[in-house]
A and B are shown apart, each in its own frame.
Chain A
Amino acid sequence: MTVSTLATSVASPRKATAAILANAVLIVIALCFLLPLAWLVLASLDVKATYQTQIPEQLSLDNFAAVFNPELTFLPLWNSLLLSGGAAVVTVLASVLAAYPLSRYTMRFNKPFMYGVLFGTCLPITAIMVPVYSLFVRLNLLDSIPATIFFMAATSLPMAIWMTKNFMDSVPVSLEEAAWVDGASAMNALRRIVVPLMRPGLSVVFIFVFIQAWGNFFVPFVLLLSPSKQPAAVSIYSFFGQYGAIAYGQLAAFSVLYSVPVILLYVLVSRGMGGSFTMSGAIKG
């Protein structure tokens, strides 16, 4: 770190002024981005919250206490966990299995398949919930949690297959070759050697799908009808519709409770990213 700062400072004598300017502009940008969020945090701690950003007269956790009940918070959060956890597990399993032949064998349809996957990644499939709704009506899958899980998994599969294949390509084949020589089947090699080696990559895919599904509002809003099956994203919207114009503080508290899990997961994955992709070093030296 010190070496690189030294090197650039020697190369550019005007760095000091530029740095002050850059810092000033960035601090202004950071304030602009944080300002809307300040309301969320302050209002959740303020019993008399409005849409104004204000320092609460007295800090209290009453808003949290008010929404802290099974019907309003726990059941929706459990449903969210079920939906996003289910979607993430299904996606990771399906994409690991699919990535193996795509990464390890040279087959005629590899290329068209991967192009198809890339094309699928780009389709605005979550924007076309109207035909999805009528397809679900026709298949009698409306208001079914498993079907919604599979739909969410399918929409994140193209991206997940793409990522998983790239991660798998970076796991050296020579480790598996040793296993094949010892008589292990392809599936055994995948389970015992490849998957453990790409655990960091797979957890990135898992968390990526989980965060997306956790935050998704439109899909469960259209596909799940009974309140007892709806995840937090939808129940928070109904709460807003019913009490939003009065209970700002509770709305904010509910939003905070619902956001904390994904924020923690994001911190986890961004911390882990730094040193986790060193496994390809297993083959060197």
Chain B
Amino acid sequence: MTANTVSRPPRETVTGSGPSGSGPRRRPRGRTLTRVLPLAPAVVLLAIFLIGPVIWSFYGSFTDAALTGSSAQDPQWVGLDNYLTLFTDPVFPLSLWLTFVFVVASAIVGQNFLGLGIALLTNRASKVVSAVVGTAVVAAWVLPEIVAAFVAYAYFSEDGTLNQVLAAAGMTGPNWLYSFPMLSIILANAWRGTAFSMMVYRAALNDVPVEVTEAAMIDGADGIKRLTWITIPMIKNSIATNLMLITLQTLSVFTLIWVMTAGGPGNESTTLPIMAFQEAFKFGDIGYGTAIATVMLLIGAAFSLVYIRALRPEKV
């Protein structure tokens, strides 16, 4: 009884009635409603334009919706037809494989290792050189994606800059976009996206205390040992976050590939976003394109669930 009065100093009634109060004493019924009201605009936007398309994607993949004609006006329910077509379509496994190669080679190998390498090297290099390389790498990333795509197209085209450089070295370069379409888009995407990994790793490395590496140095650990046993373990959270984010970004790359090769020649660089777009807008089969989009959504959702579980951010 006395404890009760002590634990409730007079001041708390003041704060308790303010918006931050968590006291259970006075809780008018309308208060929770007023409190969550500011969430409304965001919730409405997300419901219509984010959750809407997701639901629509699942629904639309079971219909024969078309770009033109009678099925455009009045799409019919066709059940699993689109998925059956998808799993017998020879382009689908190819497209899945190309998407996998594209993500692994350009994001996980290219952007990630290049970004980490640059971040590690700038710690040893002079300030001027670090600033110059930082600007050069970020420049490719800041450009609008369509401009970056044109630049990459010009660079890899038959009479482009890359072949000019090779010619200067006495070699005759191939027509990259036709002979090596996947290699071209992989290199282009690594060029465009490395900046993100570099910035993540630069920030992460800045947080590694110098004392720890210096202690290891005094104990006689050489550079490679310090890197594998001290630095990498200390930034492993950043590595996980970065790998996840660049994987998801690369999964949805459309513009770069569309401008450089448009999925061609043939289907040699048709990743899933390109395939979905072509089925829907070139061949007019919206339902089928939607089924491919749904598969992409599921892949993205699976990745992000793994990521959220693994990271379990405490600051939610």
Q: Please list the residues of chain A having a beta carbon within 8 angstroms of any beta carbon in chain B.
A: 4, 7-8, 11-12, 15, 18-19, 22-23, 25-27, 29-40, 43, 50-53, 90, 93-95, 97-98, 100-102, 104-107, 110-111, 113-115, 118-135, 138, 150-151, 153-155, 157-158, 161, 166, 169, 173, 176-177, 180-181, 186-187, 189, 211, 214-218, 222, 232-233, 236-237, 240, 248, 251, 255, 258-259, 262-263, 266
Q: Which of chain B's residues have a CB closer than 8 A to the CB of A100?
A: 38
B170 interface residue, CB < 8 Å from A? no
- Which among B41, B65, B313 is the interface contact of A94 at CB below 8 angstroms? B41
Q: Is the CB of A124 within 8 A of B252?
A: yes
Q: Which of chain A's residues have a CB closer than 8 A to the CB of B289?
A: 130
Known: A37-B140, A181-B18, A251-B150. A23 touches B126 (CB 8 A): yes
B147 interface residue, CB < 8 Å from A? yes
Known: A37-B151, A115-B316, A119-B305. A134 touches B60 (CB 8 A): yes
Q: Which of chain B's residues have a CB closer than 8 A to the CB of A120?
A: 46, 50
A-side interface mostly: helix
7 shortest A-B CB distances, which residue pairs?
A122-B304, A127-B252, A154-B49, A215-B144, A180-B18, A131-B57, A98-B42
Provide a sorted-by-A list of 8 A–B residue pairs whose CB atoms are within 8 angstroms. A26-B122, A26-B133, A33-B139, A33-B140, A35-B165, A101-B38, A125-B54, A127-B252
Known: A30-B137, A35-B161, A36-B151. A134 touches B191 (CB 8 A): no
Cα separation A211 to B195 with both chains bound (whole Å): 15
Cα separation A100 to B37 with both chains bound (whole Å): 10
Q: Is the CB of A118 within 8 A of B313?
A: yes
Q: Which of chain A's residues have a CB closer than 8 A to the CB of B43?
A: 98
- Which among B54, B114, B126, B150 is the interface contact of A123 at CB below 8 angstroms? B54
B301 interface residue, CB < 8 Å from A? yes
Min C-beta distance of A31 to chain B, whole Å: 8
Q: Is the CB of B50 within 8 A of A154?
A: yes
Cα separation A130 to B285 with both chains bound (whole Å): 10
Count of chain B residues with Cβ under 8 Å from any Cβ of A? 102
- Which among B146, B217, B293, B315 is the interface contact of A130 at CB below 8 angstroms? B293
Q: Is the CB of B60 within 8 A of A36?
A: no
Nearest residue, chain A, Cβ from B63: A134
Known: A40-B147, A127-B252. A263 touches B300 (CB 8 A): no
